[in-house]
Structure 1
Amino acid sequence: MFRSWSVRISLFAVLLLVLGPLLAVVGLVPGQQALLVFASAALVGLAGIVAGIVSAVRRKVAPGMVAVALGTLALLAVLTPAFAGGGKPPINDISTDLQDVPVFTHARTLPENAGRELGYPEEFKSVVRMYYTDLKSLKLAEPPDAVFARAVELARTQPGWTVTHVDAQGHTLEGFAETRIFRFRDDFVVRVRPEEGGGSRVDMRSKSRVGRGDLGANAARIHTFLQALAASRR
């Protein structure tokens, strides 16, 4: 069975599926390179499928079907996440306030952000308005001090989040969220301001450090945090 070249090709595809995330987790290669290794499993898997079909046609049915099955597994493992984020716009910087976008201040001082543009792209604003119509500022009846204290506490308990700066006077906090598999880091800033007429208004911005599209990850992060903050009211 394993002497069949078609099975070997598909097994190599499966190996790439495991190797890509593993390289990122142990820190041997950056996330982008690890993702390329993972994504290459789709091409190798497709080759395995073709090779398996050829083997089956040549009456090597058992190894051919194994190769097709393994190749299909590799192909789906790579393509499924991509299709799950289908329809999301190719932008990687999302904000609830597009008129007065929360500003990254501490993030600019981090070595890993040296040379990166952290201003908000003007062309992203119309895209956010079109695709993320439900993404809005969170308005709460509590005063800013109380809301900000809860926001800091909540941010520090989020899985994969690291709070890097807290400005109690300015009611802003900054940090980054690290993905579990490829260890990509996205910067975020949360801002609390007094709401006109009383209460507080919470805005959040989340930006990926690499890539242009984010498959909706930044918007999802904002939604999840603001919903949790609203639900955590004592």
Structure 2
Amino acid sequence: MIKRRLYQEERQSPLAQWSFRLVIFSVPVIVLAAVLYRFGLLEFRPAVTTLLVGLGLALAGGILGTVAFFIIWESGWRGIGKAMASVAIAFLLVAGPAAVLARGLMLPRLADITTDLEDPPRFHALALARPREANPVAYQPTSPPGAQRTAYPGIKPQDLNATPEEAFNALLGLIQKRRWRIIDATPPRGARRDGRIEAVATSPIMGFRSDVVIRIRSTPKGARVDARSTSRYGEHDLGGNAERIESLLADLSVERRKLR
């Protein structure tokens, strides 16, 4: 019995075992990075580093699992279940971030997107609430010039055939549906004062924060809406800010039918 047990243990694939261990260990590392950052117990850069370590472990485990699968297939060793599980779990963990990163690397290095490049909406309340170590709150022109227009030609102001007050209320409702944390909401007063909404949007998993300001300005035909979304940290938003503005303005265009 002892010899037979030792023989079976030797026939286990050590590569499959290590791949499974790496992938399983990567899960709490990724979860820990997200939880600690969301609760403010970890700064941005350490959180990103921890996340990358977790994803790296998952990727390494998936690669080892793939190699183990072919070795087991040829040798007949035990452990094919762990090898396949390692590959499957690694794919679930890495596929999403890898797709976002691959798409982002094809975009220019921008972290501040606005519909009005000449007179971007300004932060007021968030300028005071933003941490000192965050990116500058003042708008920085894109480098090279025209990079935003080339990458995101659809980021334009929204002209509404409605009063500024109606536009303000519609936007406020859309922001509340998105569960962004509203920091300040100043309603417009016709042509005398622009309306302004400042809010904080967070990414679904890690909770990375982006600051958003929306300006509602009176026009002869109704109201013009400008939006600006900027990442608090980092030099590259991987397209997140533009996607946020485009989504908000797309929903506003649907609401525009109600405002006519």
User: Comparing 37-46 with 55-64, which one deviates more in the overlay?
Assistant: 55-64
Mark the CA change 1:70 to 1:5 in structure 2 (over 3 Å): closer, same or farther.
closer
Q: Contact 1:176/1:185 (CA < 8 Å) preserved in 2?
A: yes
User: Comparing 122-131 with 212-221, which one deviates more in the overlay?
Assistant: 122-131
How far, CA to CA, are the matches of 2:94 and 2:202 in structure 1? Answer: 26
Equivalent in 24, 27, 48 of residue 37 of structure 2: 24
Task: Determine if the alignment matches structure 1 residue 128 to structure 2 residue 148.
Answer: yes
Aligned to 1:188: 212
Aligned to 1:63: 79
How far, CA to CA, are the matches of 1:115 and 1:11 in structure 2? Answer: 34
State the secondary structure of the residue aligned to 1:123: coil
1:67-216 equivalences under 5 Å are: 67=83, 69-71=85-87, 72-73=90-91, 74-113=93-132, 116-124=135-143, 126-155=146-175, 157-168=176-187, 169-195=193-219, 197-216=220-239
How far, CA to CA, are the matches of 2:48 and 2:83 in structure 1? Answer: 23
Q: Percent identity?
A: 27
Aligned residues: CA RMSD: 2.9
Unaligned runs of 5+ in 2: 1-11, 188-192
User: Comparing 1-10 with 86-95, which one deviates more in the overlay?
Assistant: 1-10
How far, CA to CA, are the matches of 1:113 and 1:150 in structure 2? Answer: 33
How far, CA to CA, are the matches of 1:144 and 1:119 in structure 2? Answer: 25
- Count of aligned pairs between the two proteins: 232
Mark the CA change 1:18 to 1:63 in structure 2 (over 3 Å): closer, same or farther.
farther
Q: Contact 2:69/2:84 (CA < 8 Å) preserved in 1?
A: no
State the secondary structure of the residue aligned to 1:163: strand
Asked which structure has the greater CA Rg, the reply is 2
Mark the CA change 1:94 to 1:77 in structure 2 (over 3 Å): closer, same or farther.
closer
The structure 1 segments of at least 4 consecutive aligned residues displaced by more than 6 Å after TM superposition are none
Mark the CA change 1:68 to 1:26 in structure 2 (over 3 Å): closer, same or farther.
farther
TM-score by length of 1: 0.83
How far, CA to CA, are the matches of 2:148 and 2:127 in structure 1? Answer: 23
TM-score by length of 2: 0.75
State the secondary structure of the residue aligned to 1:122: coil
Q: How far off is 1:152 after superposition?
A: 2.4
Q: Deviation digits for residues 86-125 of structure 1, max 9, x if unmatched? A: 5222211000011111111221111525774211111255
Q: Deviation digits for residues 107-159 of structure 1, max 9, x if unmatched? A: 1111525774211111255111110111111011112222123222332x132
Q: Contact 2:182/2:200 (CA < 8 Å) preserved in 1?
A: yes
Q: Contact 1:160/1:179 (CA < 8 Å) preserved in 2?
A: no
Unaligned runs of 5+ in 1: none
Q: Contact 1:7/1:63 (CA < 8 Å) preserved in 2?
A: no
